[in-house]
């Protein structure tokens, strides 16, 4: 797995955004998947700016969500849907049919997984996916110990993920489950970008790079596929 180290967070985001832009220029109707959370916010901003400046055209691009907290919807501050729409989709001239995203308010999570799997069957495999790394090494909501054979699935959230989740919400919430693309789907993507920023991620970045690939640290599994690359800033790389 190649590792690219940027001096700081803004330059990291520009590098990751350029990777996505290059993919879309090569294939205008590419299927793009970018994680929610804090880490990709600068990537969203860079991509929106690139669209405004005419450096990329997303008019034919398909976008796929990675995960969602079960029980939360677009109106809930901190939901993946709210975050991605607020910082990205609402700022682009996209049509509804260009976006496939998990419905965290679904009354039938199994059927919701099947719906997204069917969408991927029609439009996939994913051309470019941008993943963050959780403090426990999760990618998407693929928590430690997850199966490599999962496609879309419901996840019992790890205690670390539940503890970290509070930073996203404006009111206290108890989130115990998520819904996510599985490792089988993510690792089949044609271009996999794993990004991390800040000193708080330095320990898990070092584990990702140095530890043998294992489902106990899902982020290490990206090393098993040749199309994956790690993008970090100096702070996140400080323990390497």
Using a cut of 0.85, tell me whether the model's pTM lies above it.
yes
**Residues known to be catalytic:** 67, 136, 138, 143
Q: Which fold has domain 2-233?
A: Rossmann fold (3.40.50)
- 3-state SS, 172-235, equals CCCCCEEEECCHHHHCCCCCEEEEECCHHHHHHHHHHHHCCCECCEHHHHHHHCCCEEEEEECC
Tens-place pLDDT, residues 207-230: 999 999 999 999 999 999 999 999
Q: Before 236, cis peptide (omega within 30)?
A: no
Out of 95-99, 143-147, 175-179, 231-235, which region has the weakest mean confidence (pLDDT)? Answer: 175-179
Which CA distances in Å does 3 have to 209, 212, 230, 231, 238?
9, 16, 5, 6, 13
Tens-place pLDDT, residues 5-25: 999 999 999 999 999 999 999
| Contact status, residue 192 vs residue 157, Cβ threshold 8 Å | no
**Predicted pLDDT at 161:** 82
| Contact status, residue 49 vs residue 17, Cβ threshold 8 Å | no
Q: How far apart are the first and last CA of the chain?
A: 14
Which CA distances in Å does 211 have to 3, 123, 161, 207?
15, 34, 21, 5
């Amino acid at each position: 797995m190649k590792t690219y180290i940027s001096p700081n967070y803004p330059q990291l985001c520009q590098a990751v955004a350029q990777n996505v832009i290059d993919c879309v220029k090569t294939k205008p109707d590419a299927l793009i998947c970018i994680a929610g959370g804090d880490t990709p916010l600068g990537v969203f901003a860079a991509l929106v700016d690139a669209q405004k400046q005419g450096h990329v055209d997303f008019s034919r691009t398909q976008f796929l969500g990675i995960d969602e907290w079960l029980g939360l919807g677009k109106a809930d501050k901190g939901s993946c849907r709210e975050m991605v729409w607020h910082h990205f989709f609402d700022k682009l001239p996209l049509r509804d049919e260009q976006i496939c995203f998990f419905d965290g308010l679904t009354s039938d999570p199994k059927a919701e997984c099947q719906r997204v799997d069917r969408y991927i069957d029609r439009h996939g495999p994913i051309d470019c996916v941008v993943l963050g790394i959780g403090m426990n090494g999760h990618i998407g909501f693929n928590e430690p110990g997850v199966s490599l054979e999962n496609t879309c699935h419901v996840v019992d959230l790890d205690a670390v993920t539940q503890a970290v989740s509070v930073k996203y919400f404006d009111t206290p919430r108890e989130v115990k489950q998520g819904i996510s693309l599985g490792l089988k789907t993510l690792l089949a993507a044609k271009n996999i970008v794993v990004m991390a920023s800040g000193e708080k991620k330095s320990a898990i970045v070092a584990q990702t790079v140095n530890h043998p690939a294992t489902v106990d640290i899902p982020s290490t599994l990206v090393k098993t596929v040749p199309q994956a690359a790690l993008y970090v800033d100096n702070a996140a790389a400080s323990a390497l």
